[in-house]
Every structure is written in C-alpha cells, then in structure tokens.
Amino acid sequence: MVRKMKYIRFNQQMRWFGPLDPVSLSDIAQAGCHGAVTALHELPIGAVWSREAIQERKSLIHTFGLKWTVVESLPVHEDIKMRCGEFQQYIANYLESLRNLANSGIEVVTYNFMPVFDWVRTDIAYLLPNQSEALLYDQEKYELADLFLLERPGARAEKEKVQLERLQEQFDLIPEEEKQALFSCVFQALPGSSTALRKDQVLAAIAQYEHIDAEGLRDNLVAFLEAIVPVAEEMGIQLAIHPDDPPFPVFGLPRIMSTEADVRQIMSRVPSPVNGLCFCTGSFGAHPQNDLVKMLRKWGSRIHFFHLRNTKRDGPNRFWEASLLEGDVDMYKIVKGAIELMHQEQRSIPMRPDHGHKMLDDLGKDVYPGYGAIGRLKSLAELRGLEFAISRTR
C-alpha cells in the first residue's frame, strides 16, 4: 500500500499593527490564520525591545489562539544605514533586541534598508472599476510631488526643460486640495501611522544621504549584516530583508534591493543561510526586469518569509495593487514553486497576504492603507484555494 505524502503548507499569517489597529486579533483569529505578524510599533526606532515588552505582546496574541513567530519589522535606524552618528550604539541595541526576541520564541525578523521611506505611493484610494480602492504608484504624480510640493534641491536638474514646462503646466491645473492630498499620500510616515511628514523633515532626512550612492549604501548594509549575522546564527533567528518599494530610485535616494542582481550581491557577500529574503511578490513584481519564478527557484533556500500580493504595470514606473490572481505576477507558478520548495526543504514558510483592496464594509472605515480586513481576507481565501488545489495534484 502506497502511503500519501503529508503536505507541508504555508504558515499562514496576517499583519497586525498592535492594540490600536482597527483590525483586531479577533478578526485575524476568525480568518483562520496561524499567527499575527507584528512589531512593537510604539517604540522609537533604535530603542531596545525589552524581553518584558516582547512577552507582554506575545501573551496578548496568544490570548486569541494565535502565535507570534515573525517580527515585521525590527526597523534599522538611519544612523546605521548612513554609518554615522551613533550607529555603533544602535547596532548594539539591535543585537540586544535580537537576543530578546530569540529568547521569546521569535523565529524570523523582517527589516528593510530603504533610506528615509519604507514605501511610496501617489494614491492610497485608487478607484477600481468595481468601486473598491487600491494603492497606486504613478511616476508622473511622484514627479509633481518631488518638483513642486517638496521642491527637492537637484530635482529640476534631473529634467529636460521641455519636461519641466510640461509638468509645471500640469501641476498648475491641479486644485489646491488635491495638491495637499498628494503631499499627505506621498510623504506618509512609517507603516501603522496615518501622519504625514512635514516638508522640512523630509528635506532634512534626504539631505543626509547627499554623499551616499548605491554602492556606499550597499557597503553599509553588508557591514550591518556582518555585525548582526553571528548573533542571529547563535540565537537561531532568520533575517529577512524586504525589497525596495517601489523598486526604483525616489527623491534622489539610492536603492539596493530592487532586482535579482541586487539580491545576488547581498546574498553572495554575506553567504550565511540566516541572511535571507522577505520575498515580496508585489515589490519585486513591480520591476519589469525581475523574473519572479526564476528568482524563487534560485534563492528559495534563502527565503524566510513570503509577502504574496500582485501588481499591474500599465506604463513606465506606474503600477497599482491588482487582485491577487489578476496582476503581472503568475501567482499560480509562485505558489506552486513555494510548495515544491517547502517539500524539498521540509519546512513550512510563513506567508501573509499583503496590500488588499479596500472594499465592502471597510470602505467606510478608517484603516491603514492596504491593510483593511476584508481585502486581505479575500486574498487569503484565494491563496488557500490555490495552495489546496496545487497540493492535491502533487
């Protein structure tokens, strides 16, 4: 008698922004998730995460029958990215936080190395034909914000005279309230916050990177990893870097995690297995050069966390968050490749649906852009169905 192989499935997660998140732990538990992906969002960037604070948050999550094994994110202080100021102290703090997280049962720590901005969008309520709302990045709208709202030094020099004149004419036609809305959208603060940064704050933060190019930022990332990887190895923590979002330069700032070539450099320069990826199909998928199926096959052993979302490109550096099964990313091949990877390596990889549409009852609620309950629940249901169907054909 032939025994059927036991299927290894995704470790299904949902992101939660803490006690003030309008999407509750009860909502996440009712969605059937195994755990909540979260962070101590209330702490300032660079502060030590104490074991007491971690355990308190973990106990709250456990109250709802959920686990907390994935942190997103343990943010990296700008001093570390620039390797200046108090970067050594902030690295020491990061190491202490890693130890405290490991001792509390955390297995994966997600982070990014994007200067100043965690992500940039030009519309957080892009109206789709079915009247649901999606996140949108439009290069032309970004340029209007950069040139005429932020008035970044050097931005005009990057454009031809004809381009500047055309953009100026377009900007002059925009009503004042729309200009203000564009600024608030583009210069939104960290995930979990609805507060827009001030113009002077943004300009000051960008100015600090004036003498740091992509090579310099990459060297700083490697130096950071060389400092923390030995502790991650010792404590059994997997490090998962999130790709750039969007995967191309903004505001004159360098980008170093946008393409497969970027991944290859970081993975080869710090070859430890704990130095891995948060494989975000939306961020990588928004760059036309990336073949996500090939990337999954090549770097599968270094993937510690999946963000599964889809994007649709309809112009140079313009994309919106598409329905999970309808964008440019072949989600069937991605999920199939992930299932094959998990069986080959005999491990369940954490996964969460990302950037759902704002739809149905969520349209009248104040939720963080991309993180309403219903849109993500729709994506989770589609992923479960896809995973189940693929598993049955193995």
Which residues are known to be catalytic? Answer: 242, 280, 307, 354-355, 371
Provide the b/e sequence for 135-153 (b: ≥16 CB within 10 Å). Answer: bbbbbebbbbbbbbbbebe
Burial of 269 (0-12, 13-18, 19+ CB in 10 A): middle
Would you call 110 helix, strand, or coil by DSSP?
strand
Q: In one letter, which amino acid is 150?
A: L
Two tokens at 133? 């709302």
Output DSSP code: residue 23.
Answer: S
Q: Are 246 and 286 in contact (CB under 8 A)?
A: yes
Would you call 338 helix, strand, or coil by DSSP?
helix
Tally of CA atoms within 13 A in the half-sphere of 262 that contains its CB: 24
Instruction: Please identify which residue in the block is written with the tokens 């104040």.
Output: 366
From 7, 57, 120, select the one nearest 346 (Cα to Cα): 7
Q: In one letter, which amino acid is 171?
A: F
From 281, 326, 352, 367, select the one nearest 128 (Cα to Cα): 326
Which positions ≥6 away from 355 have C-beta within 8 Å?
135, 282, 309, 321, 370, 371
Cis peptide before 246 (omega within 30 of 0): yes
Burial of 353 (0-12, 13-18, 19+ CB in 10 A): buried
Which positions ≥6 away from 257 have C-beta within 8 Å?
112, 113, 114, 241, 242, 243, 244, 263, 266
Residue 281: left if φ>0, alpha if ψ -120 to 50, beta else—which one? alpha
Tell me, letter by letter, the H, E, C secondary structure of 233-300: HHHCCEEEECCCCCCCCCCCCCCCCCCHHHHHHHHHHCCCCCEEEEEEHHHHHCCCCCCHHHHHHHHH
Tally of CA atoms within 13 A in the half-sphere of 269 that contains its CB: 16
